[in-house]
């Protein structure tokens, strides 16, 4: 079900989101309505609906609470085993609620069914509903894995066709420096090797420090090529947060800033890279000057769209990329979960 090289961060995370909680509540109400409208219920259908709704919601919300309290140890389980553990918790909660419901109904004199029959009937119904939920979870997990894999294949396709002009420009820069500045030429070639090595490794999660180091190597190459035309400013804390980020999630932002911004300015321009911890994660902002010619502002589309989709896919929808024009400068703002 899951690619071991790219495990899911939290298979249970989807259960705590408002759409999932709303779906559980509405699904429980729908099941209660079906039970109340069954042919065997020939009277007091509204009362039966209320009792069934109360019991079903207790089971559903109780199971969600149990999963939330056990979320840390459950994260270490494989998705398939996690699904069966969730089913077991659901059946156990159904039995507890059924026994408590029978006791309350018996004391009220409402039920004429024996305790064993009532509990077994409730368990059978819970088993059917649980198996349907298990199939739904497996289909969701499968579709989620396929979506992530599709984004990974898209990244691999983009990596397979790294823009030739960057390679040729870098090689030309290295060749020009061989005699005048051999040390700089050697650094250019080593930085180029690091960039290609990272690109060929494929999509994965890497430490934030590693991704920023890769971005620095890329910008060092471009600094040697552009010279004084590139005014580069870093605003990065000395102690970087210990966080994992998708590979090639920051370097493409710097590449877009160079290719669609600084490179098109005859006199060059300024580029800023800022990293700031926030209350919920990490914010990375890449800002660059733009040309005043409207026709020259086109770009910042395909590469940024790929980064945005990969961020969402590899962070479970929690990572975002926002772009905007602020004071005549292009701003790419990445928000990553802690």
Mean pLDDT, rounded, for 205-213: 87
Q: Which of 3-12, 138-147, 206-215 has the lowest mean pLDDT?
A: 3-12
234 vs 7, higher pLDDT: 234
On the question of pLDDT at 5 being above 50, the answer is no
* CB distance 321 to 331 below 8 Å: no
Mean pLDDT, rounded, for 221-231: 86
Compute the distance between CA of residue 307 and CA of residue 310 in angstroms, rounded to an integer. 5
* CB distance 311 to 319 below 8 Å: yes
Choose the most confident range, by mean pLDDT, from 16-25, 167-176, 183-192, 278-287: 278-287
Q: Are strands 205-207 and 320-326 parallel, antiparallel or unpaired?
A: unpaired
3-state secondary structure of 281: strand
Q: How many helices (H) and strands (E) does the chain have?
A: 10, 7
294 vs 87, higher pLDDT: 87
On the question of pLDDT at 299 being above 60, the answer is no
3-state secondary structure of 299: coil
Which class is domain 162-337?
Answer: alpha beta
CA 289 to chain CA mean position, Å: 30
How far apart are the two ends of the chain, measured CA to CA in Å? 26
Given this model, what pLDDT does residue 3 score? Answer: 41
Given this model, what pLDDT does residue 284 score? Answer: 93
Q: Are strands 269-277 and 230-235 parallel, antiparallel or unpaired?
A: parallel
3-state secondary structure of 5: coil
On the question of pLDDT at 136 being above 60, the answer is yes
Mean pLDDT, rounded, for 22-51: 76
Compute the distance between CA of residue 74 and CA of residue 195 in angstroms, rounded to an integer. 37
Given this model, what pLDDT does residue 160 score? Answer: 53
* CB distance 134 to 87 below 8 Å: yes
- Note the helical H segments in 203-266: 208-226, 251-260
- Nearest of 170, 160, 154, 149 to residue 255 by alpha carbon: 170
* CB distance 183 to 198 below 8 Å: no
Domain spans of the chain, in order of start: 13-157, 162-337
State the pTM of this model: 0.53
User: pLDDT class for 280, splitting at 50, 70, 90?
Assistant: confident
User: pLDDT class for 166, splitting at 50, 70, 90?
Assistant: low
Given this model, what pLDDT does residue 4 score? Answer: 36
106 vs 223, higher pLDDT: 223
Residue 99: partners with Cβ closer than 8 Å, 6 or more residues away = 115, 119
Beta bridge partners of 246: 205
| Structure-token match 């890279």, residue found | 273
Is the torsion defined by CA of 228, 198, 11, 65 positive or negative?
negative
Looking at every residue in the chain, the average pLDDT score rounds to 78
Beta bridge partners of 330: 288, 325
Given this model, what pLDDT does residue 287 score? Answer: 94
Residue 258: partners with Cβ closer than 8 Å, 6 or more residues away = 219, 222, 226, 230, 271, 288
pLDDT digits (tens, 9 = 90+) for 44-93: 778 778 878 888 888 888 888 888 888 888 877 877 788 888 888 888 88
Strand ordering across the sheet containing 230-235: 230-235, 269-277, 281-289, 329-337, 320-326
Q: Which of 13-17, 100-104, 188-192, 289-293 has the lowest mean pLDDT?
A: 13-17
On the question of pLDDT at 296 being above 60, the answer is no
- Nearest of 314, 294, 296, 306 to residue 332 by alpha carbon: 306
pLDDT-above-70 percentage for the chain: 80
Q: Which of 6-15, 32-41, 288-297 has the lowest mean pLDDT?
A: 6-15
């Amino acid at each position: 079900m899951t690619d071991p090289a790219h495990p899911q961060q939290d298979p249970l995370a989807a259960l705590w989101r408002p759409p999932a909680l709303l779906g559980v509540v509405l699904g429980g109400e729908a099941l209660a309505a079906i039970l109340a409208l069954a042919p065997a219920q020939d009277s007091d259908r509204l009362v039966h609906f209320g009792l069934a709704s109360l019991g079903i919601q207790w089971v559903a919300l109780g199971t969600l609470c149990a999963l939330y309290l056990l979320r840390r140890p459950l994260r270490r389980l494989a998705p398939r085993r996690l699904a069966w553990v969730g089913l077991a918790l659901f059946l156990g909660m159904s039995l507890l609620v059924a026994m408590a419901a029978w006791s309350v109904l018996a004391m009220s004199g409402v039920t004429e069914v024996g305790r064993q029959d009532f509990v077994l009937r409730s368990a059978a119904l819970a088993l059917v509903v649980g198996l349907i939920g298990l199939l739904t979870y497996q289909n969701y997990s499968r579709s989620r894995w396929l979506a992530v894999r599709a984004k990974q294949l898209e990244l691999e396709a983009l990596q397979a066709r790294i823009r030739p002009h960057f390679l040729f420009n870098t090689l030309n820069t290295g060749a020009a420096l061989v005699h005048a500045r051999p040390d700089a030429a050697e650094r250019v070639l080593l930085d180029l090797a690091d960039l290609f090595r990272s690109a060929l490794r494929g999509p994965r999660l890497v430490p934030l420090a590693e991704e920023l180091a890769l971005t620095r190597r890329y910008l060092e190459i471009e600094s040697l090529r552009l010279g004084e035309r590139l005014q580069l400013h870093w605003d990065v804390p000395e102690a970087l947060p210990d966080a994992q980020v998708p590979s090639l999630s920051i370097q493409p932002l710097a590449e877009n800033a160079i290719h669609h911004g600084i490179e098109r300015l005859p006199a060059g321009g300024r580029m800023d890279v800022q990293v700031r911890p926030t209350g919920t994660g990490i914010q990375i902002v890449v800002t660059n000057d733009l040309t005043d010619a409207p026709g020259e502002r086109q770009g910042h589309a395909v590469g940024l769209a790929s980064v945005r989709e990969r961020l969402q896919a590899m962070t479970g929808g929690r990572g975002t990329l926002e772009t905007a024009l602020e004071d005549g400068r292009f701003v790419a703002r990445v928000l990553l979960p802690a």
